[in-house]
Amino acid sequence: MSHDTMGTLKAVLQHPDDFYPLMKLMMATKQAEKQIPTEPHWGFCYSMLHKVSRSFGLVIQQLGSELRDAVCVFYLLLRALDTVEDDTKIDTMVKIPILMEFHRHIYDPDWNFSCGTKEYRILMDQFHHVSTAFLELNGSYQEAIEDITMKMGAGMAKFICKEEVVSMADYDEYCHYVAGHVGLGLSKLFYASGKEAMFPESTSNSMGLFLQKTNIVRDFLEDINEQPKSRVYWPRQVWSKYASKPEDLKHKENSVKAIQCLNDMITNALIHIEDCLKYLSGIRDPAIFKFCAIPQIMAIGTLTLCYNNIGVFRGVVKLRRGLTAKIIDQTKTMADVYGAFYDFSSSLRSKVNLKDPNAHTTVTRIEIVLKICRDSGTLHKRKSYIADNDSSYGPPLIAFLIVIMAILYAYSQLNKTKVTS
């Protein structure tokens, strides 16, 4: 049994209320895998979607068929763009024109560019499947996707030339190019589907920035350890207040300053929550709502986990799988969103050390979020995402459930072996 699986089983022992959502997620994932289209290009797209993002892929698959195909292709095109940008082995003078012209390549089923690793290399090597799928989309979807990929590619190329994120303005601009445009693109796809009105650009942008800044906070160590060349997305304007160079934040002797810098970055991300809640409250379609709301809740949960957490500079910090499953299972209405943001924000508030140099700003921003959630008048309906202490599962039942999980895992692995043998 893998270390990852053992970790999940241990987490279930500590949080037995995760068991049922985990089982539902496991069954939904298996069901989604059975619904992979038979056409080679669409089969590739949906198989690849589940490989590069299993939980996100599952939520995409719950959208209406036409919109689902458009979002699937859009997501894979963005992953391809990211793969080109992230591959530090590619010479800058080769990378820039690819990013700048990427929006044209999506119309060419004969184009591919081999880069990246693992499943991302497969995506790039067999890019023709994604292009073929793109060409089958409705024209309004194609126009929206082309426009966003063009702007994102140009923005990525611009920041490759800069080589460093210097100011907070640079940071917001970079996040706008690589994620704010994703929010804008999705809003255009929702509008093209006829299911939603066109959302304001400012709130669409904030939806992307909140997710991107969360990822940048969480992935500091992975990015700075990148070989052959490290990547630093935290702006100099922030990290220079706490260290001579960003690598110093990794060292144990600088732990106090590292935590202060981390909290500074998280405090900046919190400013986007008000716009995110406005955006979510305006969604009409239940499937689109779930698709948009789940990543936002996972983001506030991740920021809460990262706040004051030196583990960000020591290894991988992420939400436990059972909590992710619970978020996917329980998020259905705006009341669920308000409840989740209230719970996670309250937890984050309890972690704030008043001696932290950004404590006042952090608390002020959290209080704004808490007030919005209270003023919604829906908190009495909220489900608990983070309080597992009152579990109704007794020790014998917990042990039984864990055995069942282990058997199901072993069975799934056996099926994989049969398929590949």
Pick the catalytic residue from 127, 174, 313, 344. 174
Helix (H, G, I), strand (E, B) or coil at 59: helix
Q: Is the dihedral of CA 309, 315, 320, 325 positive or negative?
A: positive
DSSP class of residue 332? -
The CA-based angle 262-263-268, given to 5 degrees, is: 100
Determine the straight-line distance between the first and last CA of the chain, rounded to whole angstroms: 19
Q: What residues contact residue 9 under an 8 Å CB cut-off, 6+ apart?
A: 402, 405, 406
Pick the catalytic residue from 113, 141, 291, 341. 291
Asked whether 157 and 226 are in contact (CB, 8 A), the reply is no
CA dihedral 279→281→286→292, nearest 10 degrees, is 30
DSSP class of residue 161? H
Provide the token pair at 112.
């591919």
The CA-based angle 344-345-347, given to 5 degrees, is: 65
Pick the catalytic residue from 120, 171, 218, 382. 218
Residue 236: is it exposed, middle or buried by C-beta count within 10 angstroms (0-12/13-18/19+)? middle
Known catalytic residue at 314:
no
Known catalytic residue at 291:
yes
Pick the catalytic residue from 121, 231, 236, 349. 231
Q: What residues contact residue 215 under an 8 Å CB cut-off, 6+ apart?
A: none
The CA-based angle 156-162-163, given to 5 degrees, is: 90
Asked whether 204 and 280 are in contact (CB, 8 A), the reply is no
Asked whether 278 and 203 are in contact (CB, 8 A), the reply is yes
Nearest CA-CA partner of 79 in 104, 48, 58, 54:
48
Known catalytic residue at 120:
no
Distance from C-alpha of 119 to C-alpha of 78, rounded to nearest angstrom: 14
Catalogue the active-site residues.
174, 218, 231, 291
